[in-house]
């Protein structure tokens, strides 16, 4: 118990360190940073009574149509409305980012669970949340997820994967990182 608490404390410190310097190269570093832009190329419709629309390989879809074992993203609005909502073409600036771990809850019978490595843990995925702001539209959140995988193999989504997922609907424009001055 103490070991896992210490591990997560060290991991949190390392992640915070990467975030503060704007790193894009570490395993758990965000592919997009505050100040980067998501440029919507065409309108994206959120179905009525929904607050999100999923994207995978440049196609929009519902959660049930997506393959959770491949990278995916979804645009999330604050509240579902009884009518369709539209995200219009335009430039959204990333205001903040954070990383989250998501688990698939799968119940296995006890005998079957003993056959799985890693103590029968369910697959996980790492999801980056990007708060987006635009001058003439409501704020939205873009959530991009790496593929669900075994906890020892799961990895966050990388920038080339984000671009493939959003292909045709949105482009991402990253600001150039200025390396720290050498002393």
36-48: pLDDT as tens digits? 999 999 999 999 9
Contact (CB, 8 A) for 159 and 32: yes
| Spans of the chain, pLDDT less than 70 | 1-27, 105-120, 177-183
124-134 and 90-103 beta bridge pairing: antiparallel
CA-based nearest residue to 122, from 171, 81, 69 = 69
pLDDT at 178: 56
Q: What is the largest CA-CA distance in the chain?
A: 61
- pTM for the whole structure: 0.75
Bridge partners (DSSP) of residue 87 are 44
Edge to edge, the sheet with strand 59-61 lists 59-61, 52-56, 72-76, 137-145, 124-134, 90-103, 37-40, 170-173
pLDDT at 111: 44
């Amino acid at each position: 118990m103490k070991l896992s608490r210490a591990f997560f404390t060290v991991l949190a410190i390392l992640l915070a360190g990467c975030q503060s310097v704007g790193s894009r190269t570490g395993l758990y570093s965000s592919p997009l940073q505050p100040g980067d832009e998501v440029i919507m190329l065409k309108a994206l419709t959120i179905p009525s009574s929904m607050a999100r629309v999923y994207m995978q390989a440049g196609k929009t879809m519902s959660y049930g149509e997506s393959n959770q074992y491949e990278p995916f993203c979804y645009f999330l609005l604050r509240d579902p409305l009884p009518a369709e909502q539209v995200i219009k073409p335009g430039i959204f600036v990333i205001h903040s980012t954070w990383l989250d771990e998501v688990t698939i809850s799968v119940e296995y019978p006890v005998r079957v669970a003993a056959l799985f490595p890693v103590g029968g843990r369910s697959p996980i995925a790492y999801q980056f949340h990007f708060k987006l702001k635009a001058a003439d539209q409501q704020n939205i959140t873009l959530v991009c997820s790496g593929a669900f995988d075994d906890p020892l193999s799961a990895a966050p989504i990388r920038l080339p994967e984000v671009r493939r997922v959003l292909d045709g609907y949105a482009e991402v424009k990253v600001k150039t990182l200025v390396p720290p001055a050498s002393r």
